[in-house]
Amino acid sequence: MLRKTVAIATLATLGMAQPLLAAEHTVLILGEAFFPEITYANPGDTIVFVNASEAEQTVAAHDDSWTVGPIQIEQSASFQTDANMQKDYVAQNNATVLGAISFDPAPAN
């Protein structure tokens, strides 16, 4: 009986010790918009910004706490999300191009 208890405890511990896998999310910079406009992610995930516009781009948090870029035309740049980060961002060369990262679950389609 003791062996069975030890085996179950060991398996439970190993199951909890496995790290969660971080995901990678792609956001296209289209010049006049981000696609998607809202990226549903988790802290620790990677966001890859792909410049699909006709000009160099830099993406920055509304409070300038983080920036990604400059990103050349048809190039990409990435960063890792953090639980305490500013989640609203803007294309620096066009302040009307807005995007956001949400740590909420993605809505069901």
| Per-position pLDDT tens, the chain of length 109 | 445 444 444 444 444 444 467 899 999 999 899 999 999 999 999 999 999 999 999 999 999 999 999 999 999 999 999 999 999 999 988 878 899 999 999 888 6
Look at residue 9 and tell me if it is in a domain: no
DSSP state of 55: S
Nearest one of 79, 97, 94, 72 to 26, comparing CA atoms:
79
> Would you say residue 51 lies in a domain?
yes
Longest dimension (CA), the chain: 69
Q: How many structural domains is the chain composed of?
A: 1
- Closest by CA to 78, choosing from 89, 87, 67, is 67
Q: Which domain holds residue 56?
A: 21-102
Structural domain contains residue 46: yes
Q: What is the CA radius of gyration of the chain?
A: 19
Q: Are 83 and 108 in contact (CB under 8 A)?
A: no
Q: Is the pTM of this model over 0.85?
A: no
